[in-house]
Each structure stands twice: as structure tokens, then as C-alpha cells.
């Protein structure tokens, strides 16, 4: 279960970063490029994924 949550967290961070960069126009070549909505969705995905990963690391340290 922890591995699955970790994989989902990493994927959310990576995909969210791509969506954010496309949304602000840094990565071109897509219909998503330059669309602010994708910058917002990407930022939210990064925050959610990072939160999942931080939660996993804190949970792992508590077992100590």
C-alpha cells in the first residue's frame, strides 16, 4: 500500500510539473500550452503529490 501511494505521489508531482510548465507556456507543442487553467491544475497536482510523499516519509519515521 505504501509503495502504491509513493508511486502515485511521484507521478502527481511529475505530471503536475509538466502541466504547470505547459500552462505557463514554457513547454510548447500542445493545446494545453499557454492555458492558465493547466497551470493551476498542475500546481494543485504538485502540491497534492508532494503532500502524499511528505505524509509517507513522516509515517515511516514514526515507526523508528
Determine the angle formed by the axes of helices 36-62 and 2-23, rounding to 10 degrees: 150
Q: Please choose, from the candidates 56, 43, 61, 59, the residue with its C-alpha nearest in 3D space to the C-alpha of residue 9.
A: 56
pTM, to two decimals: 0.85
Q: How far apart are CA 3 and CA 52, in angstroms?
A: 11
> Is the separation of the CB atoms in 56 and 6 below 8 Å?
yes
What's the mean per-residue pLDDT of the chain? 90
> Three cell numbers at 15?
505530471
Model confidence over 20-42: pLDDT tens digits? Answer: 999 999 988 888 888 899 999 99
Amino acid at each position: 500500500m505504501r509503495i502504491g501511494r509513493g508511486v502515485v505521489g511521484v507521478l502527481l508531482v511529475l505530471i503536475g510539473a509538466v502541466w504547470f510548465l505547459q500552462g505557463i507556456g514554457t513547454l510548447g507543442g500542445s493545446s494545453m500550452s499557454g492555458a492558465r487553467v493547466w497551470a493551476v491544475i498542475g500546481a494543485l497536482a504538485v502540491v497534492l503529490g508532494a503532500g502524499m510523499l511528505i505524509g509517507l516519509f513522516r509515517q515511516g519515521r514514526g515507526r523508528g
